């Protein structure tokens, strides 16, 4: 289910009507006058060290109630050091914080977020009051930046190391405090080409050597998205001499997008305030006309750009000469938030964001990103800026072509997320792909990026003048930011910001975009930026709400990949599409009534369910459409369609007295086929996948140094995309299970596919799987990964983000949990790690890479084991000694009666009538079918194994291997055995296999890892309650009695004309959201002055009267 966006924003004043504004300003005036007349008093300032003498609670019976004990799972920020995360779908458990580890440079800094804005001088007083006194244990950190005199909603505190957990606990449970989180450090954010580690492409190597990363600091927080990546054609050179030679023939992106046509109309960005959060800019740079303000938020006390990233970004937006920017007359506000060493901190960004809100910038470019969509203070501050009508534009990331690599904040719905394309009108290979992974495992991701723009070999400004070529989504983002600034200046200055907001601008860009013919929706979003079409759309814009995509044709290939690649059918797991609602009518809205589906021809074969956000804020919301086939459509083959209808309600506009309403129609089309036979249906387990950023879930291939985390979602439409493509080409139908094993009918599927599972298993799941295999004929294919306690402790590292030493929550997979699941079948994996290349028969041309996998420790009688010569990576990591061993890594087992049928007959519902037991396949590694770190794929092996599990057929060529001379029970070689082949087969017969050299791994203790904090299955005190199976309310659809008209809108600039909002009942009460800053100060300036004047007059008269009375008494 999509994220339900929180609305907890507490700022200095609110837009809740003139009466409350007057009351607020009356109170403010009283406070100001009281302070003036009351004289000075001693107060705590930010530079003063405030210390802690005692913590309450050691001698007192104090009960603390968490201030936010129920937050949706996707919204919750699960910090690595102090997490109170949920382990079940229905409850939130408050986990005790862990103590601080030994810090680097003794910096245990925490961000204390308050529930309201206040003068920064009050922060120390409040914290001291909460903690019960002053002492040497903590001090307030001075933030000497331009926002120091502004009200703020957070404080930065340095705490003595051994008191961190007490500090966090007492502050977190106080009603004044919203949250307490570690200060996050974002190191090594810029990567020049010389700094990038070369790709390891020498696949002729037999073994990838392990490199010790234990002393490395991996910063997976915010970063500048990389400038240069190799695209499909060539490397973009950044050599100075070459760039100067190319200068005379540089491709001007402004020319490609026809910006000159708007310049000829005197549209140049004048009056638009653009903020650039980056590395700074020289004040006297010859390319820029209007540098209105430069501010430094770092600790280096300089405003200059020592790296060139900020200068380049500013040039793409606003350069007036040489390499031309889009809007040369914009007012540039330069925020230097990164040091010359490419370093930044959360608090620097939060202060800079607050200042941007205060200075009322219009557009903000963020050419930064990272995978941590749980970075709560950062994410919420971005929402806050959007709520204050700042259009935020951000790079989607440079982690392509892998799917599931979207960066935050570009993956937030209120932000315009920008991907990159090359000059061949194709999505660039470096550009990150969707879907969003916030919603996994139980839901499905949203569409991102929103739009794509030129990001390959774009020209921009150098630090001291001149131009250079760079590539990346860092480049594409300012292309869109410059275009947005140019478009904004095309509207009359007096009224432009009554029309323009984050939603209306996104509507403009998306509705005018050109869909690229060869790229899908998760690669290009809603298409390529079309500047002139956006201009035409904006000139006729009427505030309205819309949904994107405007129409949902799930048969449109390749654009609607993956939906168009697999039809739906009866008994299939419902598919879900999460559409985004854009509310150009106001910052807050809601659905006026529940959505409905009106069927078209054959639409009654569908059953539809809806879920949606309760409030549309800020400017955006979501609607989730679930689809499945009714029993009447079990044998239908063809397309069905209909239309989804709903209305969006929002607050009255300026000068209006009644709310606005937009009626939305979304055409829907989907392909239905008869239910496939059971042997063609595969169920992919998504529920038991865990990933970063919820915890430290390490990479699957230990020799990969530049990416320590497993963060791509482990979904068939993200890093298992290639596997999904092959499965569809082979004729399999793939369904995704986002719930426990108790929630599917095993009789519908031939094979349950478990790949790289990190989650624990409920005891009920283990029992059901045993029953499904033995009684329902379900087969199981397991692709495991490495797990070794000593190695897990070896590869722990100090995370600069959280100031904590991280030990992995699991290995590459949770082998102890998998062993529990497989124990009823007599199968287990071992605790050693192996690595190397393999092929299963001499004539095979391709080799596959077994990358940091595990071996089989035990296997039951009647099975087949395949042994391989592999390097023992455990020895190499722990003792630096590479040793080869001949170990079993692949096992096949049939539990069926030898006389029983191998494949059962199938009914029209896809339910097999065969009740013979199923088959088991286990393989010790998943890297060769995972796109994330894949070097030599093994899809040929996957095909053979699925042929075995679904049909009982063994590939004779693939498994015609020599028999090793191995002891069936021990797996050890005999003294007289001949030299063994690199790959060999052992048929167990009546004997079981149990290795004396491989031990089953045990779970790491809770004190060393955070798995129980993030697990949906098991917590520190035991198993969580078994969650209920998702039973969405699917409504049967009545057969249409009259034809309906469907208008299919492909987002290629042919958007329909917007209609004016409908006026509804004026008696309806409509409340604005609490805590939103609005930029309409002119509406209450005169009343404010009148009220303040009256207050000052009354106070003056009261003081003067009191003085006269005192004088009179003295005279008497």
* pTM metric for this prediction: 0.81
CA distances from 196 to 192, 199, 230, 708, 972 (A): 7, 9, 11, 15, 44
Which pLDDT value is given to residue 838?
A: 85
- What distance in Å separates the CA atoms of residue 575 and residue 765, rounded to the nearest whole number? 23
Angle between helices 346-359 and 376-387 (to 10 degrees): 10
- What distance in Å separates the CA atoms of residue 363 and residue 271, rounded to the nearest whole number? 12
278 is an active site residue: yes
Helices and strands counted in the chain (H then E): 23, 45
Which pLDDT value is given to residue 1050?
A: 56
> ∠ CA 723-727-728 to the nearest 5 degrees?
120
Task: Spot the catalytic one: 73, 309, 612, 886.
Answer: 309
Asked if the peptide bond before residue 618 counts as cis, ω within 30 degrees of 0, the response is yes
Task: Spot the catalytic one: 85, 86, 474, 750.
Answer: 474
Residue 766 phi, psi (nearest 5): -65, -45
Which pLDDT value is given to residue 211?
A: 43
For the four alpha carbons of 538, 543, 548 and 552, in that order, the dihedral sign comes to negative
Residue 926, beta-bridge partner list: none
Name which of 117, 105, 127 is nearest 50 in CA terms: 127
Question: Do 895 and 771 meet the contact criterion of CB atoms below 8 Å apart?
Answer: no
424 is an active site residue: no
Those residues with Cβ within 8 angstroms of residue 833's Cβ, 6 or more apart along the chain or in another chain = 702, 786, 788, 791, 852, 853, 854, 872, 873, 874, 877
Which pLDDT value is given to residue 550?
A: 96
Mean pLDDT in consecutive groups of 10 residues from the start of the chain, 1116 residues: 33 35 48 42 30 30 30 30 29 36 53 94 90 79 92 91 77 90 66 29 39 40 44 36 35 94 98 97 97 96 94 97 96 95 89 97 93 82 96 95 93 96 96 90 91 96 94 96 98 95 98 97 98 98 97 96 97 96 97 94 93 96 96 96 96 92 97 97 95 76 71 90 97 97 96 95 97 96 93 72 67 94 97 89 76 95 93 88 91 70 42 73 94 86 95 76 48 48 87 92 75 87 89 71 63 40 33 34 48 70 65 55
Q: Which 8-state DSSP code applies to residue 724? A: H
* Chain length of the chain: 1116
> ∠ CA 982-983-988 to the nearest 5 degrees?
135
**H/E run at residue 793:** helix 789-794
Question: Do 414 and 620 meet the contact criterion of CB atoms below 8 Å apart?
Answer: yes
CB atoms under 10 Å from CB of 851, counted, come to: 31
**CB-based burial, 628-651: b 16+ in 10 Å, e otherwise:** bbbebbbebeebbbbbbebbbbbb
Question: Do 871 and 884 meet the contact criterion of CB atoms below 8 Å apart?
Answer: yes
CB atoms under 10 Å from CB of 743, counted, come to: 17
Task: Spot the catalytic one: 166, 226, 231, 278.
Answer: 278
- What distance in Å separates the CA atoms of residue 1030 and residue 991, rounded to the nearest whole number? 43
For the four alpha carbons of 1014, 1016, 1018 and 1023, in that order, the dihedral sign comes to positive
Question: Do 398 and 434 meet the contact criterion of CB atoms below 8 Å apart?
Answer: no
Binning the chain into helix, strand and coil, the percentages to the nearest 5 are 25, 20, 55
Question: Do 86 and 76 meet the contact criterion of CB atoms below 8 Å apart?
Answer: yes
**864-872 and 883-894 strand pairing:** antiparallel
């Amino acid at each position: 289910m999509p994220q339900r966006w929180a609305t907890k924003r507490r700022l200095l004043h609110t837009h809740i009507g003139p009466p409350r504004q007057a009351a607020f300003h009356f109170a403010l005036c009283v406070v100001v006058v009281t302070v003036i007349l009351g004289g000075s008093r001693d107060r705590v300032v930010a530079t003063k060290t405030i210390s802690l003498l005692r913590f309450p609670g050691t001698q007192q019976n104090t009960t603390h109630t968490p201030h936010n004990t129920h937050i949706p799972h996707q919204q919750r920020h699960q910090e690595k050091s102090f997490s109170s995360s949920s382990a079940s779908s229905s409850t939130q458990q408050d986990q005790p914080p862990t103590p601080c580890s030994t810090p680097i440079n003794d910096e245990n800094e925490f961000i204390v977020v308050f529930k309201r804005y206040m003068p920064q001088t009050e922060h120390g007083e409040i914290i001291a009051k909460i903690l019960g006194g002053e002492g040497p244990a903590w001090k307030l950190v001075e933030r000497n930046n331009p926002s120091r005199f502004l009200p703020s909603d957070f404080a930065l505190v340095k705490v003595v190391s051994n008191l961190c957990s007490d500090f966090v606990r007492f502050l977190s449970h106080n009603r004044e405090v919203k949250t307490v989180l570690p200060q996050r450090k974002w190191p090594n954010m810029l990567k020049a080409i010389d700094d990038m580690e070369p790709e390891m492409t020498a696949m002729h190597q037999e073994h990838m050597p392990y490199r010790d990363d234990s002393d490395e600091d991996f910063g997976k927080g915010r970063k500048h998205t990389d400038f240069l990546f190799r695209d499909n054609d060539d490397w973009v050179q950044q050599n100075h001499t070459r760039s100067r030679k190319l200068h005379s023939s540089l491709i001007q992106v402004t020319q490609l997008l026809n910006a000159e046509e708007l310049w000829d109309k005197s549209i140049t960005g004048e009056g638009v305030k653009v903020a650039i959060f980056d590395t700074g800019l020289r004040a006297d740079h010859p390319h820029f006309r209007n540098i209105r303000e430069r501010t430094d938020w770092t600790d280096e006390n300089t405003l200059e750009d020592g790296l060139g990233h900020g200068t380049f970004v500013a040039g793409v937006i606003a350069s007036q000469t040489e390499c031309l920017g889009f809007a040369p007359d914009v007012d540039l506000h330069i925020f230097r938030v990164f040091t010359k060493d490419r370093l930044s901190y959360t608090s620097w960004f939060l202060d800079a964001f607050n200042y941007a809100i205060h200075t009322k910038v219009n557009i903000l470019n963020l050419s930064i990103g990272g995978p941590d969509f749980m970075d709560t203070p950062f994410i919420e501050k971005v929402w806050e800026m959007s709520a204050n009508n700042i259009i935020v534009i951000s790079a989607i990331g440079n982690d392509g072509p892998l799917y599931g690599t979207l960066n935050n904040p570009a993956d937030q719905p209120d932000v315009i997320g920008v991907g990159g394309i090359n000059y061949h009108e194709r999505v660039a290979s470096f550009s990150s792909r969707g879907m969003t992974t916030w919603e996994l495992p139980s839901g499905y991701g949203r569409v991102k990026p929103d739009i794509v723009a030129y990001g390959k070999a774009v020209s921009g400004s150098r630090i001291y003048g001149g131009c250079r070529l760079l590539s990346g989504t860092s480049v594409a983002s300012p292309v869109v930011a410059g275009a947005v600034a140019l478009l904004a200046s095309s509207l009359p200055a007096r009224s432009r910001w009554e029309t323009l907001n984050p939603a209306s601008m996104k509507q403009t860009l998306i509705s005018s975009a050109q869909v690229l013919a060869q790229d899908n929706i998760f690669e290009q979003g809603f298409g390529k930026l079309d500047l002139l079409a956006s201009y035409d759309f904006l000139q006729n814009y009427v505030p309205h709400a819309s949904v994107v995509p405007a129409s949902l044709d799930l048969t449109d290939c390749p654009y609607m990949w993956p939906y168009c690649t697999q039809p739906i059918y009866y008994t299939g797991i419902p598919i879900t599409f999460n559409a985004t609602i854009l509310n150009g009518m106001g910052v807050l809205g809601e659905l006026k009534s529940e959505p409905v589906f009106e069927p078209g021809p054959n639409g009654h074969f569908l059953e539809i369910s809806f879920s949606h956000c309760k409030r549309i804020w800020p400017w955006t919301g979501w609607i989730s459409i679930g689809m499945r086939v009714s029993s009447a459509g079990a044998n239908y083959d063809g397309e069905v369609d209909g239309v989804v209808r709903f209305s969006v309600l929002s607050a009255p506009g300026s000068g209006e007295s009644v709310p606005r309403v937009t009626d939305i129609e979304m055409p829907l089309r989907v392909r239905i086929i008869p239910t496939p036979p059971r042997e063609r249906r595969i169920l992919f387990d998504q529920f038991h996948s865990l990933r970063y950023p919820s915890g430290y879930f390490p990479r699957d291939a230990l020799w990969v140094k530049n990416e320590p985390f497993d963060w791509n979602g482990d979904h068939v439409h993200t890093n298992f995309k290639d596997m999904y493509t092959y499965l569809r080409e082979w004729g399999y139908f793939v369904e995704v299970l986002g719930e426990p094993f108790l929630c599917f009918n095993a009789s519908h599927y031939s094979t349950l596919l478990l790949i790289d599972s990190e989650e624990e298993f409920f005891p009920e799941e283990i029992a059901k799987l045993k029953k499904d295999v033995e009684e329902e004929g379900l087969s199981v294919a397991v692709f495991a990964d490495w797990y070794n306690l000593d190695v897990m402790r070896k590869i722990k590292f100090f995370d600069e983000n959280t100031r904590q030493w991280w030990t992995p929550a699991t290995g590459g997979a949770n082998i102890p949990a998998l062993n529990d699941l497989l124990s009823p079948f007599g199968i287990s994996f071992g605790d050693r790690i192996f690595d190397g290349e393999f092929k299963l028969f001499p004539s095979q041309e391709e080799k596959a890479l077994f990358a940091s996998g595990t071996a089989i420790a035990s296997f039951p009688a009647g099975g087949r084991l395949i042994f391989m010569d592999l390097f023992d990576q455990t020895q190499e990591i722990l003792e630096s000694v590479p040793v080869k061993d001949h170990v079993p890594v692949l096992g096949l087992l049939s539990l069926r009666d030898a006389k029983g049928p191998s494949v059962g007959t199938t009914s029209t519902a896809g339910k097999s009538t065969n009740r013979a037991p199923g088959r088991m396949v286990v393989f010790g590694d998943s890297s060769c079918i995972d796109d994330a770190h894949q070097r030599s794929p093994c899809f040929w092996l996957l095909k053979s194994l699925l042929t075995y599990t679904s049909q009982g057929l063994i590939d004779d060529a693939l498994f015609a291997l020599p028999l090793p001379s191995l002891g069936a029970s021990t797996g050890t070689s005999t003294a007289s055995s001949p030299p063994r082949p690199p790959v060999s087969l052992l048929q167990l017969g009546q004997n079981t296999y149990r290795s004396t050299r491989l031990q089953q791994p045990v779970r790491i203790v809770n004190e060393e890892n955070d798995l129980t904090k993030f697990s949906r299955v098991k917590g520190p005190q035991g198993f969580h309650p078994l969650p209920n199976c998702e039973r969405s309310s699917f409504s049967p659809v009545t057969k249409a009695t009259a034809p309906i008209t469907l208008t299919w809108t492909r987002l290629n600039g042919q958007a329909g004309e917007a209609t004016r909002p409908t006026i509804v009942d004026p008696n309806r009460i409509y409340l604005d959201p609490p805590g939103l800053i609005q930029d309409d100060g002119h509406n209450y300036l005169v009343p404010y002055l009148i009220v303040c004047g009256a207050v000052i007059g009354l106070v003056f008269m009261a003081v003067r009267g009191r003085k006269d009375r005192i004088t009179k008494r003295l005279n008497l």
